[in-house]
Amino acid sequence: MAVLIFILAKNSFAQQAMTPEMLWSLGRVGTECISADGKQLIFSVSIPEVSENKSKHFVSMMDLATGKTNVISKNENKKSDFRIVNSTTTLFHQNKDWYLADANFGNEKKIEGLPEGADNVKVSADLKNILFTKEVKIDKISAADFYNDLQKSNVKVYNSLNYRHWDEYEDGSYSHVFLASLNAGAASNTKDLMKGQKYDCPQKPHGGAEDVIFSPDSKGVIFVTKPKTGTEYALSTNTDIFWYNINTGTFKNISEGNMGYDMAPQFSADGKYLAWLSMNRDGFEADKNDMMVWEVGTTNSTNVTAGWDESVTGFKFSNQSASKIYFTAYVDGTEQIFEVNYGMPAPNIRIKKPEIKQITYGDFDVNGLVGEATIFDTKWDTKIATSSKMVVSRTDMNHAAELYLVNLNNGDMKPLTHVNDAIYATLKMSKVERKYFTATDGKKLMNWVIYPPDFDATKKYPTLLYCQGGPQSALSQFYSFRWNFQLMAANGYIVVAPNRRGMPGHGTKWNEQISGDWGGQSINDYLTAIDSVSKENYVDVNRRAAVGASYGGYSVFMLAGVHNNRFKSFIAHDGVFDTKSWYGTTEEMWFAKWDMGGAYWDGNNLSYTKFNPSEFVNKWNTPILIYQGGKDYRTPEGQAQEAFQAAQLKGIKSRLIYLPEENHWVLSAQNALAWQREFYKWLGETLK
């Protein structure tokens, strides 16, 4: 690990404030898995090489008892997707191939016979079968599919919605789950478990290997899919979890009857319970995310977080007890670890009333549970020798993700990785403070306020109102490589980031309120936040800006028409400018229909009048910078083009930054740096 720290630090010595270039030199720590015995941690580090517009990759193994770390893969020989098969066997991916290995990922042997394009590979614990997903062409879409003499044409024919999703146009292919025999290292007797179905597993666009698993007894396959297609698919969030019995060849929908998202299935270590995340309402993608637990082979399933007023973001079964699950959730602007204990039911006894308690506290996010460790540290575990440990990923607004070990009995944490410590040692950190203001409806509004390094309360500072996306995304202690508060503060700006209506971590009513009310109370919350912080003498009220992306971009467009000269500058990225035209061009119609409260042709609807930013362009009078990704089909490029054209025709100082190959995000290193440089150049021009 010392080698990694040296690599990251050698170009940053003597830096005192974060810069875009330094931000894009930070190592990005990823999690892979913990060995079956709980003693070895596999993790990855990705280091951007901006000049090459790519990254260096390292995969390392850490002995959790000693902290000793060895690099086991790097760059072109990169290994990834490390998985535990059983107590003696592991699995990983390298280049285009998959390998079985021993418990410590050594003595690898290539799995032969997998077809090209096989992904999300899993091997059963008894080493008899293998799972993988692969794209299967079913629908005729291109003109060449219909007409043999037009093989060089570039025409697509669609007869229903979902013709494009996220950043891709549909080509008639669906990702299916395949089961094959693992015979002496060769995959054979392959069976398509979704044959003929126009469904996907994993779920698009962001599903992964968690969507398809073996049962611990190797007798079943569990996979997630949305059993809908075309326009019906675009209007629904109703995914289901299916169980395929390998011996009988039969299927069972184990989440049947639940009409919202069901996802992320996971077994207890003994295989007696299956848990998954579940939303209740079809079409509401930000519904309360509960955790269901099913007693395998029975009709008994229980919502173990039903009486709890927050949403689960991720979970892991305890290795010590099948009746205990650790999970993460947002609370008051942070993401923390919780424990739910639903009793240890004896045969024929129903699950007891669950007990939930919070384990960790602090101004940070625990944004990933890797797995339990079995080590014992006498300097740390002074009271309970059998205390459980969990390896987690943790961030805060001044620090990118690093891995920590958490004592699950008391929440104590200590760092395992130190990838960016050498760079942070050269930086002056920003002060991050939690402030509460009173909203226009009398409710308490929590805000993060981030101050420049060496902040001096006797001076005046330009101030940025940060508008979060979602609209139901959390504004917690995340560390973004684009909307980076540390970098904003280092450039001399105070940042106020309100947990306005619509965000999780403040109860489900607060989270749900924003649906159908995009331009209502949440916009008032933004104005409350900037007005309240502006009462401080150190805020320069003549140099304030509002910035944001996605729903945050919508918020900027909306504020531009209602801010009454509070702001001197605006920056919007991939925001909704005209709700009517957006409803007619976005792809996930379940989201648009739910959050707009229906279609624009249904009659009087405030989403298309009072809450439509384009209706207030007559009041625009403030410089505005607009970013737009060309492959963003969630908020298509016409939204930015309409807004830019309106500003230009009104004679308002405005600029359009078009990123033709980016989607709703900015993923390329050089594009991201260009994004950052234009961001601060614009603020420098307009907040003089």
Catalytic residues: 550, 632, 664
3-class SS of residue 65: coil
Tallying the residues shown for the chain, one arrives at: 688
d(CA 475, CA 120): 31
Place of tokens 């893969």: 73
The H helix count followed by the E strand count for the chain is 13, 38
**Residue 521 DSSP symbol:** H
Spatial contact of 80 and 96, defined as CB atoms under 8 Å apart: no
Q: d(Cα 225, Cα 212) in Å, to the nearest integer?
A: 9
Query: Token digits for 227?
Result: 């059993």
Question: Could you tell me if 282 and 237 are in contact, meaning their C-beta atoms sit under 8 angstroms apart?
Answer: yes
> Residue 134 belongs to what H/E stretch?
strand 129-137
Decide: 336 and 366 in contact? Cβ < 8 Å. Answer: yes
Neighbours of 615 (CB within 10 A): 17
E strand or H helix that includes residue 486: helix 485-490
Question: How many other C-beta atoms are found inside a 10 Å radius of the C-beta of residue 604?
Answer: 6
Asked if 360 and 413 touch (Cβ cutoff 8 Å), the reply is yes
Three-class SS of residue 276?
Answer: strand
Q: Which of 575, 577, 583 is nearest to 601 (CA)?
A: 583
Beta strands 624-629 and 569-573, pairing class: parallel
Pairing relationship of beta strands 129-137 and 173-183 according to DSSP bridges = antiparallel
* Residues in Cβ contact with 284 at an 8 Å cutoff, skipping those fewer than 6 apart: 237, 260, 515, 590, 594
Give phi and psi for 225, each to the nearest 5. Answer: -155, 160
How far is it, in rounded angstroms, from Cα 569 to Cα 547? Answer: 9
Report how far apart, in Å, the C-alpha atoms of 287 and of each of 232, 238, 259, 555 are: 19, 12, 11, 22
